[in-house]
Amino acid sequence: MAPLIGVPSQTLQAIDGIPPELPHSWVMNHRYFTALAGVGAAPVMVPLLVRDIAALRGIFDSLDGVFLAGGVDVDPASYHEPRQALCGRTDLDRDGVEILLTQWARAEGKPVFGVCRGLQIINVAAGGSLLQDCSDFEGSIKHDYFPTAGHARDYLAHSVAVERGTRLHDIYGADEVVVNSMHHQGLKTIADGLVVSCTAPDGLIEALEVPGDTFCLGVQWHPEMLVDSDAGTRRLFRAFVDAAAGYREHRTTRPDATTPPDAAPVIHYGS
């Protein structure tokens, strides 16, 4: 069977321009699902059941891997800092679900792959923090090539330098990769246990991973838009799905679905 990959959803009302009077809904961009399915995964959308930990745990236990997609800003409350003026729209329920899933996955060696916001969640879930806007990073280049400003989602905005000896370098087989860029937040304090995989020309960190055999890796760009045209990107998705398939094959026991681990964070709820 194809490995089952959970893709946490996003609250519809958290997206800019969505009328708040519409029914409360959970949604996610289809491109993540087609990219995963295209390399042999069976992707499913995970609802934001942040107030029902037993149900969320039951969903998690059925998964062979967790994919963390892009989206709205991570709320500063999720890494215990005050909100600044340039922080955009946030989704606290999504933060809570993704942090829990990431912590559970890391505790059990279940593969995790994050893109854009997903990279940031991997860092926050491990105790790191974020730049609420890349302008706070000294010497920052432009990173926010958003479609709303007329840029194509597959526009190759800048290169990244890939660190030799990392999983990411093994996958791409290159010291430099040219990527798209659709983010205005970035990584600030890197959590213990995470290794920098690559950086942008301005020095901003563009990828993190967990060393060792477990697949836990995040990139700041949007590889789902490049998977059909770039062989290295396709290998990246396939490496994640292969890791999930290996996890599915070798797992024999599952934790009690009603008992969240001790590492579960305090969840901050929005209004």
Instruction: Output the domain CATH number for residue 100.
Output: 3.40.50.880
Identify whether 267 is part of a domain: no
Identify whether 150 is part of a domain: yes
Q: How many domains does the chain have?
A: 1
Task: Identify the active-site residue in 143, 183, 184, 222.
Answer: 222
Identify whether 271 is part of a domain: no
Measure CA of the first residue to CA of the last residue in the chain; give whole Å.
Answer: 41
Residue 11 is predicted with a pLDDT of 97
Q: Is 116 a catalytic residue?
A: yes
pLDDT band at 270 (very low <50, low <70, confident <90, very high): very low
The rounded radius of gyration (Å) of the Cα atoms in the chain is 17
- Give the model confidence (pLDDT) of 114-136 as tens digits: 999 999 999 999 999 999 999 99
* 107: containing domain: 4-250
- E-assigned strand segments in the chain: 4-8, 10-11, 26-27, 42-46, 65-68, 112-115, 130-131, 158-162, 176-179, 186-187, 195-199, 205-209, 216-219
pLDDT band at 258 (very low <50, low <70, confident <90, very high): very low
- Mean pLDDT, rounded, for 186-193: 97
Identify whether 186 is part of a domain: yes
Residue 267 is predicted with a pLDDT of 46
Identify whether 156 is part of a domain: yes
pTM of the model: 0.92
Task: Identify the active-site residue in 87, 98, 116, 206.
Answer: 116
Identify whether 35 is part of a domain: yes
**Residue 255 in this model has a pLDDT that exceeds 60:** no
Q: Which residues contact 52 (CB under 8 A, 6 or more apart)?
A: none
Instruction: Identify whether the C-beta of residue 198 lies closer than 8 Å to the C-beta of residue 207.
Output: yes
